[in-house]
Structure 1
Amino acid sequence: MPSLPSMLFRRSSFATLLIAGAVSACALLAGCGESAEKTAVAAPPAPPILQGKQLRFPTGHPQLALLNSVPSRPATDIVADLPARLVWNEERTQRIYPAFGGRVVAIGADIGAVVKPGSVLARLASPDFGAAQSDTTKAGVDVNLARKVLARQRELFDAGIIARKDLEQTEADLARAQAESARAAARTTLYGAASSINQQLGLTSGIAGVVVERNINPGQEVRPDQSGPGAPALFVVTDPSSLWVLIDAKEIDIGSMQPGTTFELQVPAYPGETFTGRVIATSDSIDPGTRTIKVRGVIANTDRRLKSEMLVTARVREKMNGVVVPATAIVLERNQHKVFVQVQPGVFEPRMVTMGHMGNREVVLSSGLAAGEQVVADNALLLAREFSVAMEDAGNPTSPQANQAK
């Protein structure tokens, strides 16, 4: 028979086991309750329902916080930013090419030099120009000889020795010699001295300005056939106090870019400053590669802060009719533009619209939307995806959404 102390030890051990089992059971039940609670929290929200053309979200749906809506406003004057580039004013620019072949013997002006009409930029030793000078001299000799012959013929005609037709032929020979002499002299005078044969051809400036480009070196051989499309000029002289602005305008902007229209230039090199220009010409064709219209403007540059080939932005103000919405609200679907209108809280419907003007931040809609309507400005693509999913579910009669819609 077991002793009393051993019996008491067994009872206390059994009680301890019972208590441990109860604690484990409570912990297990608590864990099950927590899991059930977590399962209930992690349950997905009810999806939106498509009713007709409207998509209805349940109250408190988490995606509603992402679909920010803003009211559309009437369009008045909008600002359009167009890419542009500064170039030399070709009405005040001269590109100098050689009229005769030869070798460069001296450079008279370098880049940055201020020149006047007639200033010698470079001098060439040109046998071709020497031949032209020789032709001028020979033409002058022929004129002198023709005059002497005509004087003798008149004496003979007065004496009755020759016929009138011989006199008239001599007069015609003198007229032809004079014409050839004038032509040869004009050619050589245009490029240099016509009174001597020195073969020195001077490249001169025909305008007042600044030498902005030089593509010639001493000892270089130049030829007239080197001048052509794409070939660099030996010298470029321009008046930098006026520059051209080449603007790439979209088709919808052409109405605001007529000759005489003023615009503002924004130059990255001078942040916060604006320069005012004026449109002087508009192209009659559209560039097939970029689908833009070339617009040419002119801008004053008396302080010469602006430089040729600068990339700038031309800002013009355009009068538009319609409503203005953020550019992020536009969704493109099958070559058509649409927006999503919030007709009431949590209810959205698509609306096909017509673009009047597309800017970087805002667009103008000429039709399809009234002023004051709430347009989804953020995550419009997300809403378009929800519409697509809802339409697919509505076409499936076994889906929960289709049953809920019924």
Structure 2
Amino acid sequence: MGYTYLDNAATTPMAPEVVALMQDQMLNNFGNASATNYYGRQARSVLDDSRHTIAQSINAKDSEIVFTSGGTESDNTAIISTALSRQSEGKHIITDATEHEAVLKPMKYLESLGFNVTYLKPNEDGEISVEQVERALTDDTILVSIMYGNNEVGALNPISEIGELLKNHQAYFHTDAVQAFGTENIDVHAENIDLMSTSAHKLNGPKFIGFLYINENISIPSFIKGGDQETKRRAGTENVPGIAGFAEAVKLANDEVKKDKRERFYSFKQQIEKTLKENQIKFEINGPKGPHALNHVLNLYIPGVDRGVLLTRLDLEGFAVSGGSACTAGSLEPSHVLIAMFGKDSPKVADSIRISFGKDNTMDEINSFTKKLIEIIRDLTN
């Protein structure tokens, strides 16, 4: 039996070009980028070239890219380092209730230290408005952290508008772009973003590597204490093969490829919706209904069908989907994103599934998946 992978919001398979490049780097470029000998200089050259490639992809300067172990470290660094270093200027932070746990848990930690955190409630499509941010702002606000695109329902937030709002406010603007980087066109300077988190494994790169964009006009202390790597902003010997692989994944996800992916993924969503309707399957889409969304994410509520049973049946039939964020879905706990959108008593909270597309998925796979989904739903509801 073949297996179709439709859980790309959790992680993506590494592109063959990335694997080949990393293998070459691991075999032939093993030097420490901080060393001054030949091997160190070779590693430093790869590091610098990779940083430049990644910086260009978001219209940043090379010096504004700080490599980390991934999205979680980037989020923690942006949030905790900003808060602790700026608490004399204020102790108020704004975020939203649908953020990833890598943002929400640092916020809870800061609350335990006496910070005041405002959690904005999304609309029923999972979106935050710039008006909500404006109403929540105070003279004591030192940080606003709003995700670029939601990993469970695909909602895109008005990042440019929020950035414009905060341009003349003391608050730093951070966005978790882990799910959006690689599919959306991001310009950190045009969008007035101060801090941005990413992770390579969401765009067919390696795991345990990411970067934190830090605008050159702001300064936050290093979160990881140790050596002076990354111009003293992130201690630890750089993972040169991983960074090179990340840069290769970024090259592969150029603007033309991103446009193609957005269009293809939206056609997948439309095909699933159309086929379910034609077969008179009752369902609801959780999240945006049109093309203005992270189109690789489709969250479905199917009334009367137990999520755990549905996921198991799909898995046994060769289709990998999930119940939500990969960081919590393993326990099948209710989705905090759907709770924020619909309330804790909504049946959608416990019985919705997330289908997420990747660059290698085909329409034939989507049709096969939808056919099997319909068969299972009918079996479970008859």
TM-score, length basis structure 2: 0.21
Q: Relative to total residues, which structure has the larger helix share, 1 or 2? A: 2
> Which of 1 and 2 has greater Rg?
1
Q: Relative to total residues, which structure has the larger strand share, 1 or 2? A: 1
